[in-house]
A and B are shown apart, each in its own frame.
Chain A
């Protein structure tokens, strides 16, 4: 696949800043290295994790959500068609 072509987003995560305490365990767990600690402080005083993922690298492996002690991460994966291929 050519690098110029914008990759279709397969999966994404949603980090709830209400729960996130910025421990950074998801940053280490992510095999794609796309999670970072935000520079914007939350109302509870933590720097939360963020996943901007501009290159659509997220595969939906859920490792970040599984190591999160505060269950702040939800993972979404693109629906599959009947043929087993992603839409």
Chain B
């Protein structure tokens, strides 16, 4: 039989071997759980450079913003915004009925309008414009709470775009509403690009046509298509 070392030495050896198993377990746990603190940065390399990225913080300014607003009263080149058709949606004091110069009512333009409408407008007005968007639904639920509106909620049912009044809005007015808002609706001028707002206005008119159409408005070659769909219980 091989002579063994003293027991304390064997014991320490086994203990050390077991201790080696702890770090992998700890690491596996760290991997599996979220952590409120950012990891300690061991090698800095050039990870943190003395520069400001978008929306970063700059303590030198009172508001802490690294990105600065334009000085009040200044106008950037090309942003005089004097073209009232393009920027206000009005021509000679009347709502414009047509698109501004440089934009044309193409299928692509309407498709863009549809895409943007679905992003920014459908949340309240619904995909088809009936004022049944998800945000509107939730807000109406908060309003109809049995113990009164939740936390001061004061929501007014979003307008249906097929309301007779809204149907009468000219293209320029729809554009202006998208830009500056109306009644309880906030303006989206800062969120949506200029041309996209015109595309949305155009798409809203297309929606209005589509929801107020008869079979006679559908090209004859496509009517069969519509009827087969409706037999499946779905009108598209």
Are A and B subunits of one complex? no
Listed in ascending order, the chain B residues whose CB lies under 8 Å from chain A are none
Listed in ascending order, the chain A residues whose CB lies under 8 Å from chain B are none
